[in-house]
Chain A
Amino acid sequence: MPFENLTPPPVLENLGHGVKVFEGRLHPLTLVIGLTKYGRALIPAIALVLFGNRWAGAPLLFFTLAGLVATFIKYFFFRYRIENGELITQEGLIEKRQRNIPLERIQEISIEQGVLHRLLGVVDAKIETGSGSGAEASLSVLSRAEADKLRQMVFAHAAAIRAGKTPTEENSAVEVVAGEAESVVVCRLGVKDLIVAGLTSNHLLSALALAGAVWNFADDLLPDAIYAKTGKLISEEATHLAAQGIEWAIVVTVAGIVAVALIGILFSVVGSVVLFYGFTISRRGDDLQRRYGLLTQRSSSLPRRRIQVLEIEEKALRRLFGWATLRADTSGRSREDSDDNKGRDVLLPIVSVRELDGLLPNVFPDVNLADGEWRQVSSQSVMRETLELGLVCLVIVAALFFWLGSWWTLLPLALVPLTYWLYGISYRQLGYALGEAYLRTRRGWLGRSTHIVPINKIQAVEIHQSPFDRWWGMASLSVDTAGQAFTGGGPQISNLPVAEARELARMLASRAAVTEYKW
């Protein structure tokens, strides 16, 4: 690794009772990264002040310089240490800011490494706690080795504190780390898996994203005259096409749609490979670690007891081929916009359902898939869903019929029996299984989504009864847990007979009440 010799040695010491175990500061390359970040803006800013609009240039120059100065201050005055069971960060030149984060509250330490970071051998480390508002502390940048060590220390000490051991000289940092279990690879995805993931993901969305990105890019670069020209060209072509007859117009439209779809597929395959390249999930003791990325490499480390709900998502297309996506919620994690393209919303982007049974014990150690038998929802739900869909269809079709007056508009009603049949097939998979320590729920008609929630993680149970539900004597039940963000609204069962829903809710709540919830 280049620049290794620049790393300030992390001070390992046992002062008296060994309360201070780890101390460090940012890597000197923080300055280099800051320089490249603000230096890029510096040249245009100076040029603008010298040769261009001074009024626009001066603030730009000021903010760029301020950013540079802030980087220097951050580097020279940032300290962090582990002491008395807390991670303490200190920063600031004039106003000193100190933040104490109790180790046992740290949910996740994620490490991100962009291309420049990788060339330099450094990482950004983010410390997440249950506060639910993003990272609690951001250590940017550390050397790779130091970040790994920090991560180990934090979780080892948190585990020791949980086990009731106060940090003393006897179980000093070195010992705690030595007592750590070996890291076991749980699952590794090859390029082939990622291509499958890309092929079966939502193409239209990625095509639109691509179009949006291209449009934005073009918007910045191209002068307005080109828009006017393109617009004129398109309208001319359109009139031209219309003149050539409807067949041509259809052919061109279909070709256009196919082209967009193909670009979308290509884009999502490439996107999936770039984002998740080399995806590895491994387990070290109680700690689940994920590592992935082709250009920007990301890794995160998550104590598995923080997992509140696990979702096995089988979208229609993936389900057809026996593939699923695993998603998990951890307490105190809220969804942020910046998470969207970083793969943080999935625990495992793609996995064959055959491997799931072997995989689940890595997430929930005491899960027993034979525990609790599956119970189906109300037998009337197929009829109900079909009728409700039919009713909506009928309204639309009736409106179209009176508007257009053609008998062809009645054709969509023929789909209603088909949906009845489809619902009938899927009905068997809906329902729930209440086991000793876990509740599993399953919903979705074509696609399917299975939620597994440990009963001691249940925060509240809710029953909804809409007027339609009342008509059918049904209700829907949902389970609230901490930090629901990525599992599509958590466990839910619709179309339960109302008495059963009430009984199940009471049973879940009173069983949750006698368990102990730990963050």
Chain B
Amino acid sequence: MTENLEQQTEEFHLLDPRTIKLWRMNYLIGFGIVILATLAAVISIGYAAAEARIWLAIGWMALTAICLWFSFWFPPRLYRSWRWRIDAKVLELRHGRLIERTRLIPLARLQHVDLERGPLERLFGLASLVIHTAGTHAASTTIPGLDAETAARLRDHLVEIGGDDAV
């Protein structure tokens, strides 16, 4: 991050590298619940049907392995697809592995900006910025995985320059 946000015109910024860890943790927790729930189901079915036990166990282990693998494999790739930049007029974000989405928001259209920090994000010193416009499909835009300090500065900057529209 350079000091002056307004001077960053051309180059894209990546998210904070800690985001990879955050996303891995998120996936592990999410999948963990699924895996535990399936384990409970597998045990209760296996208790009743002795002959299916081995297949249930194999199935459950395969599911666990896939979930674990995905949790480690996917976040770095998603991370590399994410980039954003801001100049005096436009905020631009780009992300997506399979379908790449680019969104450009004229800064004059900002309605309000939220800074969000969940418990995990706080743990990693990260924050998400949620930018609201009066639009329909793109009414709110999230930049995840920003360094907390960068996020706060970016928010202050956006609040200062944007949102001078009559509402």
Residue in A closest to B104 when the chains form the complex, CB atoms: A509
> Does A462 lie at the interface of the complex (its beta carbon under 8 Å from any beta carbon of B)?
yes
> Does A378 lie at the interface of the complex (its beta carbon under 8 Å from any beta carbon of B)?
no
1/0 per residue, CB under 8 A from A, across B12-28: the answer is 00000000000000000
**A517 contacts B165, C-beta separation under 8 Å:** yes
Name the contact of A510 in the complex, choosing from B90, B100, B139, B141 (C-beta under 8 A).
Answer: B90
CA A463 – CA B105 in complex, angstroms?
A: 12
Set of chain A residues within 8 Å of B89, measured between Cβ atoms: 509-510, 513-514
**A514 contacts B135, C-beta separation under 8 Å:** no
**B135 contacts A466, C-beta separation under 8 Å:** no
**A516 contacts B135, C-beta separation under 8 Å:** no
> Does A512 lie at the interface of the complex (its beta carbon under 8 Å from any beta carbon of B)?
yes
Interface size on A, residues (CB 8 A): 35
**B90 contacts A462, C-beta separation under 8 Å:** no
**A460 contacts B98, C-beta separation under 8 Å:** no
**B165 contacts A518, C-beta separation under 8 Å:** yes
Name the contact of B133 in the complex, choosing from A460, A463, A467 (C-beta under 8 A).
Answer: A460
Residue in B closest to A332 when the chains form the complex, CB atoms: B134
Nearest Cβ on chain B to A86's Cβ, whole angstroms: 16
Segment with Cβ contacts to A, from B57-65, B72-80, B106-114, B122-130: B106-114
A465-B108 contact given A482-B134, A509-B89, CB 8 Å threshold? no
**B135 contacts A513, C-beta separation under 8 Å:** no
> Does B142 lie at the interface of the complex (its beta carbon under 8 Å from any beta carbon of A)?
no
| Residue among A481, A490, A517 with the highest chain B CB neighbour number at 10 A | A517
A518-B99 contact given A490-B136, A513-B107, CB 8 Å threshold? no
> Does A506 lie at the interface of the complex (its beta carbon under 8 Å from any beta carbon of B)?
yes
> Does A484 lie at the interface of the complex (its beta carbon under 8 Å from any beta carbon of B)?
yes
CA A335 – CA B70 in complex, angstroms?
A: 39
Set of chain A residues within 8 Å of B52, measured between Cβ atoms: none
Set of chain B residues within 8 Å of A484, measured between Cβ atoms: 135-137
CA A263 – CA B120 in complex, angstroms?
A: 62
**A517 contacts B134, C-beta separation under 8 Å:** yes
Set of chain A residues within 8 Å of B164, measured between Cβ atoms: 516
Nearest Cβ on chain B to A490's Cβ, whole angstroms: 7
**A502 contacts B102, C-beta separation under 8 Å:** yes
Set of chain B residues within 8 Å of A516, measured between Cβ atoms: 108, 164-166
> Does A18 lie at the interface of the complex (its beta carbon under 8 Å from any beta carbon of B)?
no
A466-B90 contact given A481-B136, A512-B106, CB 8 Å threshold? no
1/0 per residue, CB under 8 A from B, across A467-503: the answer is 1001000000010111111000010000000000010
Name the contact of B136 in the complex, choosing from A461, A467, A482, A505 (C-beta under 8 A).
Answer: A482
CA A465 – CA B166 in complex, angstroms?
A: 34
Q: Does more than half of chain A's interface fall in helix, strand or loop, or is it mixed?
A: mixed
**B166 contacts A519, C-beta separation under 8 Å:** yes
**B136 contacts A480, C-beta separation under 8 Å:** yes
**A505 contacts B104, C-beta separation under 8 Å:** yes
Set of chain A residues within 8 Å of B99, measured between Cβ atoms: 464-467
> Does B66 lie at the interface of the complex (its beta carbon under 8 Å from any beta carbon of A)?
no
Set of chain B residues within 8 Å of A465, measured between Cβ atoms: 99-102
CA A478 – CA B134 in complex, angstroms?
A: 16
Name the contact of A482 in the complex, choosing from B92, B108, B135, B141 (C-beta under 8 A).
Answer: B135
Set of chain B residues within 8 Å of A460, measured between Cβ atoms: 103-106, 109, 133, 135, 138, 141
Nearest Cβ on chain B to A415's Cβ, whole angstroms: 29
| Residue among B105, B141, B165 with the highest chain A CB neighbour number at 10 A | B105
**B108 contacts A506, C-beta separation under 8 Å:** no
**A515 contacts B135, C-beta separation under 8 Å:** no
A512-B109 contact given A460-B138, A480-B136, CB 8 Å threshold? yes
Name the contact of A514 in the complex, choosing from B92, B98, B108, B167 (C-beta under 8 A).
Answer: B108
> Does A458 lie at the interface of the complex (its beta carbon under 8 Å from any beta carbon of B)?
yes
> Does A459 lie at the interface of the complex (its beta carbon under 8 Å from any beta carbon of B)?
yes
CA A467 – CA B97 in complex, angstroms?
A: 9
Residue in A closest to B161 when the chains form the complex, CB atoms: A513
Set of chain B residues within 8 Å of A478, measured between Cβ atoms: 137
Set of chain B residues within 8 Å of A272, measured between Cβ atoms: none
> Does A331 lie at the interface of the complex (its beta carbon under 8 Å from any beta carbon of B)?
yes
Set of chain B residues within 8 Å of A509, measured between Cβ atoms: 89-90, 92, 104-106
Nearest Cβ on chain B to A477's Cβ, whole angstroms: 9
Name the contact of A461 in the complex, choosing from B104, B108, B139 (C-beta under 8 A).
Answer: B104
| Residue among B102, B105, B107, B135 with the highest chain A CB neighbour number at 10 A | B135
**A462 contacts B165, C-beta separation under 8 Å:** no
**B138 contacts A517, C-beta separation under 8 Å:** no
- B29-73 residues with Cβ-Cβ distance < 8 A to A are none
- A417-466 residues with Cβ-Cβ distance < 8 A to B are 458-466
Set of chain A residues within 8 Å of B134, measured between Cβ atoms: 130, 331, 459, 482, 517, 519
A462-B98 contact given A490-B136, A515-B108, CB 8 Å threshold? no
Name the contact of A463 in the complex, choosing from B101, B108, B141, B167 (C-beta under 8 A).
Answer: B101
Name the contact of B135 in the complex, choosing from A481, A505, A519 (C-beta under 8 A).
Answer: A481
CA A510 – CA B132 in complex, angstroms?
A: 18
Set of chain B residues within 8 Å of A490, measured between Cβ atoms: 136-137
CA A298 – CA B164 in complex, angstroms?
A: 37
**A483 contacts B136, C-beta separation under 8 Å:** yes
Set of chain B residues within 8 Å of A519, measured between Cβ atoms: 134, 166-167
Residue in A closest to B102 when the chains form the complex, CB atoms: A463
CA A510 – CA B105 in complex, angstroms?
A: 9
CA A471 – CA B166 in complex, angstroms?
A: 43
Set of chain B residues within 8 Å of A510, measured between Cβ atoms: 89-90, 106
A513-B108 contact given A465-B100, A467-B98, A502-B102, CB 8 Å threshold? yes
Name the contact of A462 in the complex, choosing from B103, B109, B139 (C-beta under 8 A).
Answer: B103
Further contacts, 15 of them, CB under 8 A, given A460-B104, A484-B137, A517-B165: A459-B105, A459-B136, A459-B138, A460-B103, A462-B138, A464-B101, A466-B98, A481-B135, A484-B135, A484-B136, A485-B136, A509-B105, A510-B90, A512-B106, A512-B109
A sample of 24 cross-chain residue pairs with beta-carbon separation below 8 angstroms, ordered by A number, consists of A459-B133, A460-B109, A460-B135, A460-B138, A462-B103, A464-B100, A465-B100, A470-B100, A478-B137, A482-B136, A483-B136, A485-B136, A490-B137, A506-B104, A509-B90, A510-B90, A512-B106, A513-B89, A513-B109, A516-B108, A516-B164, A517-B109, A517-B134, A519-B166
Contact surface of B with A, Cβ cutoff 8 Å: 89-90, 92, 98-109, 133-139, 141, 164-167
